[in-house]
Structure 1
Amino acid sequence: MADLSQKEWVEQLKADDNAFVLDVRTPAEFQQGFIPDASNIDIYLGQQFVSELEKLDKSKSYYVYCRSGARSGQACNIMKGMGFKKAFNLQGGIMAWEGEVVR
């Protein structure tokens, strides 16, 4: 797992043809605006969050974010423990995001 600055996260995401953008906020937060192409799985779902992660392709690279970077950091640690090799946390989360947001 790696914590990446927005610049690093965006550059790596653009260059990665096996990327998956994962938003781990609540559905209500997600509806307020999200990074383009993001899929939403709420980390607060507990065991159901883990069940949803189990459906994902472990060979992909996951670019994970939340509101501030804390929950996405936890999510990356959970994913690492589940055998995901590439999970990248967006430092500062969407609060620090300066790129496009889908509303």
Structure 2
Amino acid sequence: MRNVYIGLLVVLIAFASGCTAQEAIYEDVTKERFAELLKTGDGLLIDLRTPNEYEEGHIEGSVNIDFFADNFEDKIAKLDKNKTVYIYCAGGGRSGETLKLMKKTGFKTVYNLPIGYDGWSSD
């Protein structure tokens, strides 16, 4: 009988912990949705282009983490995984790869702009 109670307790704990866990978000979003999300002022906006590309123009409030830098993955690993992250590059390739990396390494909420800065800055 004691084993039955222990078994039920384990099942209840497992169920309860599953109910409280927030589901992770890894999402490609439109230009309009990206702009809407940025208005919350919440999270970290990352430009994944090279420093030269960044200097030519970037989304206001972004920080530059060069996708091609030798220490790129180390820089990503040091970010707060519980914070909402917004990523973009020039046209979606680098940010798409970074989205996969962030998913694999346990980030909770990541929004990607697949049209990149090129699409963002066009009419």
- Please say whether Structure 1 and Structure 2 have the same fold, judged by a TM-score greater than 0.5: yes
2:37 paired with 1:12: yes
**Aligned sequence identity (%):** 37
Larger radius of gyration: 2
Are residue 58 (structure 1) and residue 87 (structure 2) matched?
no
Match of 2:110 in 1: 87
One-letter identity of the residue aligned with 1:76: L
TM-score (norm 2): 0.73
Any stretches of 5+ residues in structure 2 without a counterpart? 1-25
Q: CA RMSD in A?
A: 1.4
Q: 1:50 offset after TM fit, Å?
A: 0.8
Distance 2:121 2:55 in 1: 18
Greater relative contact order structure (CA < 8 Å, 6+ sep): 1
Q: How many aligned residue pairs are there?
A: 97
> Which consecutive segments of 4 or more residues in structure 1 shift more than 3 A?
none
**Structure 1, unpaired ranges of 5+:** none
SS of residue paired to 1:63: strand
